[in-house]
Amino acid sequence: MFERVLVIGKNGQLGQSLQKIAAEYEHLELEFVGRDQLDLSCANAVRQFFRAVQPYSVIINAAAYTAVDKAESEPALADRINHLAVRQLAEIASEQDAFLLHVSTDYVFDGRSYRPWLETDPVAPVNEYGRSKLAGERAMLASGCRGAIVRTSWVYSEFGNNFVKTMLRLGGEREELGVIFDQVGTPTYATDLARALLAFLGDPASAEGADQADVELYHYSNEGICSWYDFALAIFELTQVDCRVNPIETRAYPTPAARPHYSVLNKSKIRQQLGITVPYWRDSLKACRDELVRNHVKSSIFSLQPQQSLANQLSCR
């Protein structure tokens, strides 16, 4: 259906996950660029990049400013990458008649719901990161380009820095941890998100969302509901880490940026239109654990004593 596909953000969790599965999609010519080739914080750099290359059929924006707390003190930079750069990419996609696939966030919501968020629900971000991502969504929706915005939540993977790897590191260093129990959402394994994005570019019969003339909003995370506390317990259970996890309230762990208390996303629309199966979050966490172990075996890191735990092995980098 599509030939040349540009993926922006090759060094991020999602970018690396897309690279991991790229060979499975033989009908797509996936090209990956990082910040050194395409710096979204610089409008001139973006303009020059697209002037120097042949037009793409699809542009996947897997890059973003994601430092939620730091965005409170760097709102201009967050806005430049999450808003203005998205507007620029949408303009380029419109000029080249390319399909723009952009990843957004559950943080566009205020978290005051008690049912999974629909794409049509009112938005009201509670921090600068969420406001910058919402501005990017609105710019793309108003651009007139063809494309899709996929909101996601709590992304983790075997790549980069994320909650799973932080818990494994801390679990190998400490006897107990306090983890927030009153923020509820759904973890998203980046590999599952990558497959959902590429489903837009598959058989037209199973990807009607890619044929629309305008931009459509979708939600994607894994299935199920948990708190960060539940997530930490599952991580230690699946990796046999002996670390006690204590539930704490958000107010006991103040951060510069406020977080929504309820971030569960309704996935009915993307399931129905793309015909995809959304994995349960614990099943995907097991898959990530297996990848972490496999990566360490391949890199010959397991020169540890038999009595050492998996947590110590995983944090030995």
With 60 as the cut, is the pLDDT of residue 232 above it? yes
Which regions of the chain does DSSP assign to beta strands (E)?
4-8, 29-33, 58-61, 99-105, 146-152, 155-156, 176-180, 184-185, 188-189, 215-219, 226-227, 244-248
Write the pLDDT tens digit of every residue in 36-94. Answer: 999 999 999 999 999 999 999 999 999 999 999 999 999 999 999 999 999 999 999 99
Q: Is 309 exposed, middle or buried (0-12, 13-18, 19+ CB in 10 A)?
A: middle
Of the pLDDT bands very low, low, confident and very high (cuts 50, 70, 90), residue 202 is confident
What's the pLDDT at 205?
A: 38
What's the pLDDT at 295?
A: 83
What's the pLDDT at 212?
A: 58
Which residues form the catalytic set? 129
What's the pLDDT at 86?
A: 98
What average pLDDT does the structure give for the chain?
Answer: 90
What's the pLDDT at 307?
A: 31
Q: Cβ neighbours of residue 25 under 8 Å, at least 6 residues apart?
A: 198, 201, 202
What's the pLDDT at 14?
A: 98
Write the pLDDT tens digit of every residue in 115-161. Answer: 999 999 999 999 999 999 999 999 999 999 999 999 999 999 999 99
Distance CA 175, CA 166 (A): 15
With 80 as the cut, is the pLDDT of residue 211 above it? no
Q: Cβ neighbours of residue 24 under 8 Å, at least 6 residues apart?
A: none
Among 22-31, 74-83, 233-242, 305-314, the minimum mean pLDDT is found in 305-314
Helix axes 85-96, 43-51, angle to 10 degrees: 20
What's the pLDDT at 213?
A: 64
Of the pLDDT bands very low, low, confident and very high (cuts 50, 70, 90), residue 2 is low
Distance CA 234, CA 232 (A): 5
State pTM to two decimals.
0.90
What's the pLDDT at 107?
A: 98
* Residue owning tokens 């999974």: 116
What's the pLDDT at 315?
A: 28
Rounded to an integer, the average pLDDT of 300-316 is: 31
Query: How much of the chain exceeds pLDDT 70, in percent?
Result: 89
What's the pLDDT at 312?
A: 34
What's the pLDDT at 207?
A: 41
Query: Are 256 and 73 within 8 A, CB to CB?
Result: yes
Write the pLDDT tens digit of every residue in 94-122. Answer: 999 999 999 999 999 999 999 999 999 99
With 90 as the cut, is the pLDDT of residue 165 above it? yes
